[in-house]
Amino acid sequence: MIIKPKIRGFICVTAHPEGCAAHVQEWINHVKAKGPIANGPKRVLVVGSSMGYGLASRITAAFGSGAATMGVFFERPSEEGRPATPGWYNSIAFTQAARKAGLYARNFMGDAFSVDIKRQVVEAIKADLGQIDLVVYSLASPRRTHPVTGAVHKSVLKPIGAPYTNKTVDTDRGVVSEVTIEPASEAEIADTVTVMGGQDWELWMQALGEAKLLAPGAQSVAYSYIGPEVTWDIYKNGTIGMAKNDLERAAKAINAQLKANGNGRAFISVNKALVTQSSSAIPVVPLYIAILYKLMKARGTHEGCIEQMQRLFAQQIYGPKAATFDDGGRVRVDDLEMIPEIQNAVRQIWPTVTTENLEAVTDIAGYRTEFLKLFGFGLAGVNYDAETEPHVPMN
Ligand code: NAD
């Protein structure tokens, strides 16, 4: 079939297999061009490995330090005549490239929150890898079925305490408008913490620890975001921010566990705001990203997921110098986003943005290009007018 983008709100309901493969290859090429990461990890588990920061982490581990990788993800498989979600194609493309390069790669498609997937991964590590050097926890999910109670918790992106009104953009239609989001209830806050907080990360580390699958000195990292004040009501001080506080709590608990295991460590890396499937669902944030991209590209400091993760691995986790932590014990690869020159410029542009000047004062065009790339569209060398087979089996 001929596969074209079909955008519905902040999601594209189609994905292009060859385009996704070309996107994965671009990321692999970046990591290879940066050269080997000396002392990098050799056996890596990535939870949330098919898209965004998790996929970039897996590619960096494999092609930067020759790691054997296991990836856990939740995607809709392809069917006859119906494309999969893009992470399905990304994972196939990654696995093919890794195996071609002589690297072990194994995939677990299912619910990372479940006891069953954890058990499958534990058994596979025992059988294939023995132990793990690095666990990357990069889930972004709208819901979690609790493994003990069976209750389904849904995360929400809402402010806390009072309604929040700010500018937002419909990235597809290019319309800037004002949005008011009502505050979350106590139950919604608790549910968001249950889904996006640190409990599941702890359960993963507990399962691996109990089975003695963490190599001495093993490390673990999970990802967070802080961002500028203009987004704080909806992000840092909102429901998702409460979940991220819980992730930080979990980081400290896991750090103690890993420290006792041959002086390993666990920490949070605060990453840059980027176009991903998850960030595009947050009100207000896409407008901020469109302004940020314009400013960082002009300054020559713009990075995508792969540049961020390659830098995190090569300069922080496995860098030649000791990793640098902020006052809260977090690594900051959002450093270039947060410099005062950039943030002062965002503050100046923000009140001036309208539907009419959107193209001129923001990089909405770059936002759209990146958004389409997430689904495998707009990649060089791919013929989008040609027939392509959407049904691709997982390897
Ligand atoms: P993403 O949407 O690109 O990827 C999410 C991944 O989680 C996918 O691989 C998906 O398959 C997997 N997943 C979701 N639910 C799952 C489930 N139940 N079981 C197994 N796998 C599941 O997300 P992202 O933007 O890369 O976010 C990853 C992490 O990085 C999150 O913690 C997010 O808060 C953080 N982060 C994102 C940004 C940003 O701007 N995008 C910035 C800083 C930090």
The Cα–Cα gap between 246 and 166 comes to 26
Residue whose CA is at the smallest distance from ligand 1 atom 34: 224
pLDDT of residue 381: 96
Which of 24, 139, 154, 270 to mutate for ligand 1's pocket (most ligand atoms within 8 Å of CB)?
139
Residue 180 included in any domain: yes
Task: Give the E-state strand segments of the chain in sequence order.
Answer: 7-8, 11-12, 43-47, 68-73, 105-109, 132-137, 143-145, 152-154, 164-170, 175-181, 214-224, 265-270, 331-332
Say if 393 falls within a structural domain: no
Per residue in 135-191, pLDDT (tens digit) is 999 999 999 999 999 999 999 999 999 999 999 999 989 999 999 999 999 999 999
Task: Assess whether pLDDT exceeds 90 at residue 94.
Answer: yes
Res 278: pLDDT: 86
Question: Which carries the bigger pLDDT value, residue 9 or residue 86?
Answer: 86
Residue type, 104: Y
Q: Which of 157, 279, 292, 370 to mutate to test the pocket of ligand 1 (most atoms within 8 A of CB)?
A: 279
Each as own residue / partner, the long-range contacts of residues 4-13 (CB below 8 Å, 24 or more positions apart, any chain) are 4/377, 4/384, 5/372, 5/375, 5/377, 7/172, 9/172, 10/171, 10/172, 10/280, 10/281, 10/286, 11/277, 11/280, 11/281, 12/371, 12/372, 12/374, 12/375, 12/377
121/131 Cα distance (integer angstroms): 11
Ligand 1 interacting residues, C-beta cut-off 6 A: 48-54, 72-75, 87, 111-113, 138-141, 223-225, 271, 273-274, 276-279
Question: Is 89 labeled as catalytic in the residue annotation?
Answer: no
Domain extent at residue 213: 7-373
- Could you give the 3-state DSSP secondary structure of residue 286? helix
CA of 49 to the centre of ligand 1 (A): 8
Start-to-end CA distance of the chain, whole Å, equals 22
The yes-or-no verdict on residue 112 having pLDDT over 80 is yes
Report whether pLDDT(3) > 80: yes
pLDDT at residue 9 in the model: 82
Give pLDDT, residue 282. Answer: 87
* Per-residue model confidence as pLDDT tens digits over 278-325: 888 888 999 999 999 999 999 999 999 999 999 999 999 999 999 999
Percent of the chain's residues with pLDDT above 90: 96
Could you tell me the distance, in angstroms and rounded to a whole number, from the CA of residue 222 to the centre of ligand 1? 10
pLDDT category at 10 given cuts 50, 70, 90 is confident
Sign of CA dihedral 88, 93, 94, 96: positive
**Total count of domains within the chain:** 1
Checking if the pLDDT of 130 tops 90, the result is yes
| pLDDT tens digits for range 180-198 | 999 999 999 999 999 999 9
Query: Within 13 Å, how many C-alpha atoms sit on residue 373's CB side?
Result: 20
**pLDDT recorded at residue 183:** 97
**pLDDT, tens only, 214-271:** 999 999 999 999 999 999 999 999 999 999 999 999 999 999 999 999 999 999 999 9
- The pLDDT score that the predictor gives to residue 251 is 98
166: which strand partners?
179
Domain membership flag for residue 388: no
**Averaged pLDDT score across all residues of the chain:** 97
- Catalytic residue among 137, 164, 225, 235, which? 235
Whole-number Cα distances in Å, 220 to 44, 175, 207, 245, 255: 10, 41, 14, 17, 8
Residue 132: name the closest of 142, 143, 144, 118 by CA.
118
Asked if residue 387 is part of any domain, the answer here is: no
pTM beyond 0.95: the answer is yes
- What kind and span of H or E run contains 18? helix 17-34
Q: How far is the CA of 138 from the centre of ligand 1 (A)?
A: 5
Instruction: Assess if residue 383 is contained within a domain.
Output: no
Backbone φ, ψ for residue 150 (5° rounding): 80, 0
Residues 310/30, Cβ–Cβ less than 8 Å: yes
By most ligand atoms within 8 Å of CB, the mutation choice from 117, 271, 276, 309 for ligand 1 is 276
pLDDT at residue number 279 = 87
**Cα 67 to ligand 1 centroid, rounded to whole Å:** 21
Q: Which CATH number covers residue 231?
A: 3.40.50.720
| pLDDT at residue number 277 | 86
The answer to whether residue 391 is domain-embedded is no
Mean pLDDT of 62-90: 97
Q: Give the per-residue pLDDT at 98.
A: 98
Residue 381 zone, left/alpha/beta (φ > 0; ψ -120 to 50; rest):
left
Q: Is residue 20 part of a domain?
A: yes
Quote the pLDDT of residue 395.
Answer: 74
User: Is the distance from CB of 372 to CB of 378 less than 8 angstroms?
Assistant: yes
Which ligand 1 atom lies nearest to the CA of residue 75?
11
Average the pLDDT over 8-12 and give the result.
Answer: 88
Q: Within a 13 Å sphere around the CA of 89, how many CA atoms are in the beta-carbon half?
A: 29
Query: Does residue 390 lie in a domain region?
Result: no
69 CA to centre of ligand 1 in angstroms:
18
Which atom of ligand 1 is closest in space to residue 196's alpha carbon? 32
The fraction of the chain above a pLDDT of 70, given in percent, is 100
pLDDT at 115 over 90: yes
Nearest CA, atom 5, ligand 1: 140
Calculate mean pLDDT across residues 63-92.
Answer: 97
Residue 217 pLDDT: 98
21-31: pLDDT as tens digits: 999 999 999 99
Which residue puts its alpha carbon closest to atom 28 of ligand 1? 138
